[in-house]
């Protein structure tokens, strides 16, 4: 009897199982302004400045690029930034800024570069207690010119296609191609030039010296480039060529009323 009493007194009885420790949420260093209108997870419309604000994190600082920004959990091995913002919501929010959607890249029967309103992209982040800003083009290095990217992305708008199984319309950018530096018909924003995604021909790399540490939270501020005209073909509401794109998608032009803007 005595050993049992002593054991209990010393607290040596089996303790109830404890729940596993929870992973702490990622720190939020950037605060949302009161006037911004929520458009989706990590996405706001700023009506005062007529721009969209998108929360992202740095996921790559060196190496070859196909994207400036991808959807979280998709293309982080070839994108500088990743976001949780839904692709469809980004498209809808860009329409609220007054940007004109053009058309995505076409590869057949001949190459046609993507078109649409030129979009200015500013990056905002905190570093050692100081607010920092940069033009997103400074984060991308052109290996041909040995300088930073000098042209704007355009609002190509991705494509809608019919799922072969469900027969439901699908938005191609949902697969992660949000802002690209290599041409993809699925991209929301693309470069209005011939920019290959083939490994041997890729033109752009991460400009490591300008990019903050991995994991840094940033805001991307996107708005039509003021005073700039939409690049190229402005038949924004017409259907694309029925030819298949490089990714095998038979595209349909994304209409302005394809998304609920409420």
In a domain, 32, yes or no: no
- Report residue 236's pLDDT band, with 50, 70 and 90 as the boundaries: very low
Q: pLDDT (tens digit, 9 = 90+) per residue, 97-154?
A: 999 999 999 999 999 999 999 999 999 999 998 999 999 999 999 999 999 999 999 9
Question: Is residue 53 helix, strand or coil?
Answer: strand
Total domains in the chain come to 1
In a domain, 5, yes or no: no
Sign, CA dihedral 176-182-185-187, equals positive
Q: Residue ranges of the alpha helices (H) in the chain?
A: 2-9, 87-96
Q: Are 86 and 43 in contact (CB under 8 A)?
A: yes
Categorise residue 47: left if φ over 0, alpha if ψ from -120 to 50, beta otherwise: alpha
Q: Are 163 and 61 in contact (CB under 8 A)?
A: no
Q: pLDDT (tens digit, 9 = 90+) per residue, 168-193?
A: 999 999 999 999 999 999 999 999 99
In a domain, 253, yes or no: no
In a domain, 89, yes or no: yes
Which range marks the domain in which residue 216 is found?
A: 38-226
Whole-model pTM: value is: 0.79
What DSSP designation does 101 have?
A: B
In a domain, 176, yes or no: yes
The answer on pLDDT for 234 being more than 80 is no
The answer on pLDDT for 90 being more than 60 is yes
| Whole-angstrom distance, CA of residue 37 vs CA of residue 27 | 22
Q: Which two tokens stand for residue 193?
A: 């030039």
Q: pLDDT (tens digit, 9 = 90+) per residue, 1-30?
A: 444 333 333 333 444 554 544 434 456 679
The answer on pLDDT for 245 being more than 50 is no
Higher pLDDT, 209 or 22: 209
How far is C-alpha 82 from the chain's CA centre? 6
Name which of 218, 200, 195, 198 is nearest 142 in CA terms.
195
| Whole-angstrom distance, CA of residue 176 vs CA of residue 224 | 22
In a domain, 42, yes or no: yes
Question: How far from 168 is each of 88, 117, 231, 254, CA to CA, in Å?
Answer: 15, 29, 31, 14
Beta-bridge partners for 124: 133, 219
The pLDDT value recorded for residue 195 is 87
In a domain, 118, yes or no: yes
In a domain, 127, yes or no: yes
Q: pLDDT (tens digit, 9 = 90+) per residue, 27-53?
A: 667 999 999 999 999 999 999 999 999
């Amino acid at each position: 009897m005595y050993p049992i009493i002593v054991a209990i007194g010393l607290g040596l009885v089996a303790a109830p199982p404890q729940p596993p420790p929870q992973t702490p949420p990622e720190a939020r260093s950037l605060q949302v302004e009161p006037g911004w209108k929520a458009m989706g997870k990590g996405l706001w419309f700023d009506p005062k400045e007529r721009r969209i604000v998108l929360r992202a994190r740095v996921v790559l600082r060196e190496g070859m690029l196909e994207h400036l920004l991808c959807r979280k959990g998709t293309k982080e091995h070839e994108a500088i930034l990743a976001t949780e913002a839904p692709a469809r919501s980004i498209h809808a929010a860009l329409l609220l800024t007054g940007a004109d959607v053009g058309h995505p890249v076409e590869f057949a029967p001949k190459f046609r570069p993507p078109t649409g309103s030129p979009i200015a992209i500013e990056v905002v982040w905190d570093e050692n207690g100081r607010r920092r800003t940069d033009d997103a083009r400074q984060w991308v290095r052109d290996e041909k010119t040995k300088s930073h990217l000098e042209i704007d992305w355009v609002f190509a708008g991705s494509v809608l296609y019919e799922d072969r199984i469900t027969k439901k319309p699908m938005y191609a950018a949902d697969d992660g191609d949000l802002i690209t530096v290599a041409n993809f018909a699925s991209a929301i924003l693309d470069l209005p030039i011939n920019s290959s995604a083939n490994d041997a021909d890729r033109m752009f790399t991460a400009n490591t010296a300008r990019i903050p540490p991995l994991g840094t939270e940033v805001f991307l501020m996107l708005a039509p480039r003021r005073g700039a005209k939409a690049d190229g073909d402005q038949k924004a509401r017409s259907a694309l060529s029925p030819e298949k794109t490089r990714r095998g998608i038979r595209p349909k032009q994304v209409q302005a009323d394809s998304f609920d803007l409420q």
